[in-house]
Amino acid sequence: MSKRGLIIVGIVGAVVVSWWLFAGRDKPVLVSMVKVDRGDVTASVTNTRAGTVDACRRAGISPTIGGQIAALHVTEGDTVAADQLMLELWNKDLAAQLVLARRDYAAASARSREACVIADVAAREASRLTKLHAQGLTSEETADKAEGEAAARAAACDAAKTAAGVNAARIDVATAALERSQLRAPFDGVVAEINGELGEFVTPSPVGIPTPPTVDLIDATCLYISAPIDEVDAPRVRAGMPALIALDAFGDRKFPGTVRRVAPYVLDQEKQARTVKIEAVIEAPDDNLLPGYSADVEVILDTAVDVLRLPTAVILDGNRVLALDDSGTIVSRDVEVGLSNWQFTEIRSGLRQDEQVISTVDRAGVEAGATAKVE
């Protein structure tokens, strides 16, 4: 090929490349838009790991002595009242001792009454002989003897009363021993689990060796969530703050709640971020809400009512948004933001209501200066 031919080919190639670059540069990118609207924006913090629903009062209880289960008065799922008898160990010997103590007390009380009646008679006799001695109708020795007898009988009355009191105390001892073989509900609740059957033996847990409780009792009228939050968020959370509680078992439904406690220490567990445990009480628990469910707690820090807002995802670093000018060119606009959460961000200035901004900010080619076309 001649030198002139090579020059012509080079010129044509340069023209083609220039045209391709120009055409590619001017090809608009497709974008979607979103309007600035009005609504509420809530600032909140959430737990870092799933929390757990638990009852405000839950007790795993067992008899304080070992023995054979002789009677089960409840079954799993039963509702019980405080002090209701739930379980009894074999206790015929203890019951017999209580009967014996009561009869001993009855006998001692009768002896006490007898001794006091004799003492009363002796006191009246001594008074009568003292009067006769004053009239010279009986000897001094007889009067003195009667007074001594009255004093002795009065002492015997006091001793009999004390003995009756001792027997009354023995009734209390026998009653306490019998109650140790009985398991009663410490509060109103629902029997969640029973670890034992009729005829089986139960034993108290040795010191330092936990064993399953005989009865697991739950007060389901008060439920709370225990969940960890990041240590960075902890200083902003206070007891009494409102919260929203979500549970996987209830889908999108959220329960209102209140933060009742923020732990005064940071949990430092190996291979986990440092967290602070919080507890939130569910204000109106559902009848189907059960202890043990997993739950998430969203603590409401502040709420801006009826303000301009945008989806948080369209806010870029440096508090910027992307918009289109009249020529279809993407432009960057600075905005002042307020409260924010994962869904919405408050716009305090820089935009007006119903203005549109680009929502597909993560799409390739969407940047300030590019030409765009609305989908």
Which residue ranges make up each domain of the chain? 28-42+304-374, 46-58+219-303, 67-88+182-212, 92-180
Which structure tokens are listed for 101? 């103590």
The string of DSSP codes covering 128-168 is HHHHHHHTTSS-HHHHHHHHHHHHHHHHHHHHHHHHHHHHH
Half-sphere exposure of 77 (CA within 13 A, CB side): 0
CATH among 2.40.420.20, 3.30.70.100, 3.90.1170.50, 3.40.140.10 for 28-42+304-374 = 2.40.420.20
Half-sphere exposure of 42 (CA within 13 A, CB side): 11
d(CA 98, CA 106): 12
10 Å CB burial of residue 227 (0-12, 13-18, 19+) is buried
- What residue type is 177 in one-letter code? A
Quote the pLDDT of residue 280.
92
The string of DSSP codes covering 344-361 is EEEEEES--TT-EEES-T
Asked if 371 contacts 26 with a C-beta cutoff of 8 angstroms, the reply is: yes
Which residue in this structure is represented by tokens 């409260």? 339
Q: Which residues contact 69 (CB under 8 A, 6 or more apart)?
A: 87, 88, 89, 90, 196, 197, 198, 199, 200, 201, 202
Residue 266 is classified by DSSP as -
Asked if 320 contacts 334 with a C-beta cutoff of 8 angstroms, the reply is: yes
Quote the pLDDT of residue 16.
53
Quote the pLDDT of residue 221.
80
Q: Fold match between 46-58+219-303 and 67-88+182-212?
A: no
Q: Which residues contact 273 (CB under 8 A, 6 or more apart)?
A: 48, 230, 231
Q: Which residues contact 61 (CB under 8 A, 6 or more apart)?
A: 183, 186, 213, 214, 215, 217
Q: Which residues contact 252 (CB under 8 A, 6 or more apart)?
A: 246
Looking at domain 46-58+219-303, which CATH architecture does it have?
Answer: Beta Barrel (2.40)
Containing 250, the helix (H) or strand (E) segment is: none
Give me the count of residues in the chain.
Answer: 375
Quote the pLDDT of residue 188.
92
Quote the pLDDT of residue 153.
92
Quote the pLDDT of residue 269.
73
d(CA 3, CA 116): 150
CATH among 1.10.540.10, 3.40.50.620, 3.30.2290.10, 2.40.50.100 for 67-88+182-212 = 2.40.50.100
Quote the pLDDT of residue 184.
94
Asked if 238 contacts 302 with a C-beta cutoff of 8 angstroms, the reply is: no
Quote the pLDDT of residue 175.
95
Which of 272, 174, 315, 294 is CA-nearest to residue 227? 294
d(CA 215, CA 194): 5
Q: Which residues contact 365 (CB under 8 A, 6 or more apart)?
A: 29
Quote the pLDDT of residue 212.
85
Asked if 163 contacts 45 with a C-beta cutoff of 8 angstroms, the reply is: no
Quote the pLDDT of residue 180.
92
The pTM score is: 0.60
- Tens place of pLDDT for every residue, the chain, 375 residues? 555 555 565 565 655 555 544 554 558 899 999 999 999 998 888 888 888 988 888 888 988 888 999 999 999 989 999 999 999 999 999 999 999 999 999 999 999 999 999 999 999 999 998 888 888 888 888 888 989 999 999 999 999 999 999 999 999 999 999 999 999 999 999 999 999 899 999 887 776 677 788 999 998 788 888 999 998 988 999 999 999 999 888 888 888 999 999 999 888 776 678 899 999 988 877 767 788 889 999 999 999 999 999 999 999 999 999 999 988 898 999 999 999 888 899 999 999 999 999 999 999 888 988 888 888
d(CA 293, CA 315): 36
Which residue in this structure is represented by tokens 């801006």? 304
